[in-house]
Amino acid sequence: MRGRLVADREGRYLDADDAALELLGLTLEQLNSMRVGDFSGPHAEMARTVWRRLAATGEDMPSGEGTLYLPNGSEIRVRYLRIAALRNGDYEIHIDRIDATDADRPPTSDRPSSILREWRVAEREAEAGASGGPGAMGAPDEATDAADKLRRLYQDSYSARTRNSEA
């Protein structure tokens, strides 16, 4: 099932089509009260920080795959088909649910280096915040777990691209 969402640069959800709302199990009013990161479970603050950093460029964002933690307690894997910058500064997010047969393979990203770079910056800010410095955004374990997960994503994506280029 494919759906479309719209979020602003700050990560507030502004709109969605019926398919996206059905996929998320929400009404438009419920979605409008949420922000990017609200579906990221324990990595919510890291996801918001990465979103804001990437949105600040005003360019399309990297696509890839991830797990959404839904408000009803369930989890689904989705593929971000496209995250396109709109002229007004908002972003149109196209998602597709990954079916069970694809769920066991490693996640991918089309530009893992840009995601990894922003994630590392967010991780450093989280570590500075945990040590009493400015930029606190969560526990250091959250930053470490998120960074490890992203490193695995990058490594798996690189390995998959290498295997595909050799085939």
Q: What is the mean pLDDT of the chain?
A: 79
Q: In terms of pLDDT, which residue wins out, 149 or 38?
A: 38
Sorted by sequence, the CB contacts under 8 Å of residue 99 that are 6+ apart come out as: none
Do 145 and 123 meet the contact criterion of CB atoms below 8 Å apart? no
Q: What pLDDT does residue 135 have?
A: 45
**What is the domain extent for residue 50?**
2-166
Q: For residues 50 and 116, what is the distance between their CA atoms, to the nearest angstrom? A: 9
The arithmetic mean of pLDDT across residues 28-46, rounded, is 94
For residue 38, the surrounding DSSP H or E stretch is none
Q: What pLDDT does residue 102 have?
A: 58
Q: How many domains does the chain have?
A: 1
Do 147 and 124 meet the contact criterion of CB atoms below 8 Å apart? no
The arithmetic mean of pLDDT across residues 87-109, rounded, is 77
Q: For residues 82 and 130, what is the distance between their CA atoms, to the nearest angstrom? A: 34
Domain containing residue 51: CATH number: 3.30.450.20
